[in-house]
């Protein structure tokens, strides 16, 4: 068996940590080429030492010396690289067979796109990249023979139950609808009047999933599902009317595909990200993920509800973004990142997150996207506008 070289962009986050756990179960099948982190030097150094990474990448060049010292203290010989260009470099190394793209937010766009443009097998956990530059990713995949396998549990579920030739067009392969499930987050049944006083700690306390703070807040507002709607459009060549969302609090059914003949195929499993990670790593084979097995007899009930768009206005915004196209997804994502960051720092309230995003959508100019530079410029301009909107509320 030939060992595959894996580079993990964002190894100290929850997806990165889970990926390393799966890799550790299969030392004969995979080896770590490079690991990267934004600023968590101690954890990155420990990971590199434990998994014998060849490269350790820190996004802030000013922290390179500190990382070298941390690695030296652990007798780890990983070579230190730093900066945005270094992230792209390790994603494109000849010895890298697959890239786990797990950097949260738009910061992961450039190295993820460069990996796709170099024909790497792309394990996509960074949904924002596909949201803001989906057309560029589809073009790169087509031109360079890149296989993009989604790692988000919902999109990975769809990938598992769709026919392999879905890129011909969903209608052409008998698909009527992609149904994304959403847990509804920690406030699904909370009175709306109480939501204005929600704290960051409460919003980050997800009932089913262990996720980072930003993603946890997105789950609480259902903005994450809005992002996933846009991601699904590009991943599966879907039209807006072919995508639906349903609330499923137990997070056992991860998504479903409705077919023309009345069949609905679903992927089920415990709410553990190691399952989609293992699937993406080994596809089209299956490997052990180290997760608990699902026992349906233990499930007292599986519930499904239509989402309340008044409670979760981000969903409605996302469908508007799909219809608008162009740079609208860039604005939607950047404004949400800014709003969540402001909420986590107690600058705005929980209910102000979607309103900030909506205001930013109305305030930013619409335009077309043709290049990575245009994506980055629209992202920059949106953050400036959203910053002013937030400042006016503080």
Would you say 186 and 200 are in contact if contact means Cβ atoms under 8 Å apart? Answer: no
CATH topology for 325-394 is Rna Polymerase Sigma Factor; Chain: A (1.10.1740)
Please list the pLDDT of the chain residue by residue as tens digits (394 residues).
789 999 999 999 999 999 999 999 999 999 999 999 999 999 999 999 999 999 999 998 999 999 999 999 999 999 999 998 999 999 999 999 999 999 987 788 999 999 999 999 999 998 888 999 999 999 999 999 999 999 999 999 999 999 989 988 999 999 999 999 998 888 887 887 778 888 888 888 766 656 678 888 888 889 999 999 999 999 999 999 999 999 999 999 999 999 999 999 999 999 999 999 999 999 999 999 999 999 999 988 999 999 988 888 889 999 999 999 999 999 999 999 999 999 999 999 999 999 999 999 999 988 998 899 999 999 999 999 999 999 999 7
Q: Which sequence spans correspond to the domains of the chain?
A: 4-150, 152-312, 325-394
Strand pairing of 148-150 and 30-37?
unpaired
Task: List, in order, residues 6 or more apart from 82 with CB less than 8 Å away.
Answer: 57, 58, 59, 60, 61, 63, 64, 67
For every residue of the chain, which 3-state class applies, written as one string?
CCCEEEEEECCCCHHHHHHHHHHHCCCCCEEEEEEEECCCHHHHHHHHHHHCCCEEEECCHHHHHHHHHHHHHCCCCCEEEECHHHHHHHHCCCCCCEEEECCCCHHHHHHHHHHHHCCCEEEECCHHHHHHHHHHHHHHHHHHCCCEEECCHHHHHHHHHCCCCHHHCCHHHCEEEEEEEECCHHHCCCCHHHHCCCCHHHHCCCCCCCCCHHHHHHHHHCHHHHHHHHHHHHHCCCCHHHEEEEECCCCCEEEEEEECCCCEEEEECCCCCHHHHHHHHHCCCCCCCCCCCCCHHHCCCCCCECCCCCCCHHHHHHHHHHHHCCCHHHHHHHHHHHHHHHHHCCCCCCCHHHHHHHHHHHHCCCCCCCCHHHHHHHHHHHHHHHHHHHHHHC
Q: What CATH number was assigned to the domain covering residues 4-150? A: 3.40.50.720
């Amino acid at each position: 068996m030939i060992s595959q070289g894996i580079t993990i962009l964002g190894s100290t986050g929850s997806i990165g940590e889970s990926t390393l756990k799966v890799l550790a179960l299969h030392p004969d099948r995979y080896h770590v080429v490079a690991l990267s982190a934004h600023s968590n030097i101690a954890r990155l150094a420990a990971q590199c030492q434990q998994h014998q990474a060849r490269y350790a990448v820190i996004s802030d060049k000013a922290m390179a010396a500190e990382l070298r010292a941390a690695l030296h203290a652990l007798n780890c010989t990983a070579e230190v690289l730093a900066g945005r260009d270094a992230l792209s470099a390790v994603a494109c190394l000849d010895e890298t067979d697959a890239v786990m793209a797990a950097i949260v937010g738009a910061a992961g766009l450039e190295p993820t796109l460069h990996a796709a443009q170099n024909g790497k097998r792309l394990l996509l956990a960074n949904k924002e990249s596909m949201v803001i530059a989906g057309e560029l990713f589809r073009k790169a995949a087509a031109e360079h023979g890149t296989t993009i396998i989604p790692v988000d549990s919902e999109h990975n579920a769809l990938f598992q139950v769709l026919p392999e030739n879905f890129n011909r067009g969903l209608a052409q392969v008998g698909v009527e609808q992609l149904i994304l499930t959403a847990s509804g987050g920690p406030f699904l049944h909370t009175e709306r009047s109480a939501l204005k006083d929600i704290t960051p700690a409460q919003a980050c306390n997800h009932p089913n999933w262990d996720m980072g703070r930003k993603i946890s807040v997105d789950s609480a507002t259902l903005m994450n599902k809005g992002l996933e709607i846009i991601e699904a459009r590009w991943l599966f060549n879907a039209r807006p009317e072919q995508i639906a969302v349903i609330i499923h609090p137990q997070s056992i059914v991860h998504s479903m595909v409705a077919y023309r003949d009345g069949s609905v195929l679903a992927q089920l499993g415990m709410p553990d990200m190691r399952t989609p990670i293992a699937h993406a790593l080994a596809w089209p084979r299956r490997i052990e993920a180290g997760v608990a097995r699902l026992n349906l007899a233990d499930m007292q009930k599986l519930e499904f509800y239509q989402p309340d768009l008044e409670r979760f206005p981000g969903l409605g915004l996302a469908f508007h973004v799909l219809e608008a196209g162009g740079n609208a997804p860039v604005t939607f994502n950047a404004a949400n990142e800014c709003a969540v960051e402001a909420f986590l720092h107690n600058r705005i309230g929980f209910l102000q997150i979607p309103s900030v995003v909506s205001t930013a959508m109305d305030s930013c100019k619409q335009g077309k996207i043709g290049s990575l530079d245009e994506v980055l410029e629209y992202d920059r301009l949106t953050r400036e506008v959203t910053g002013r909107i937030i400042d006016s509320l503080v």
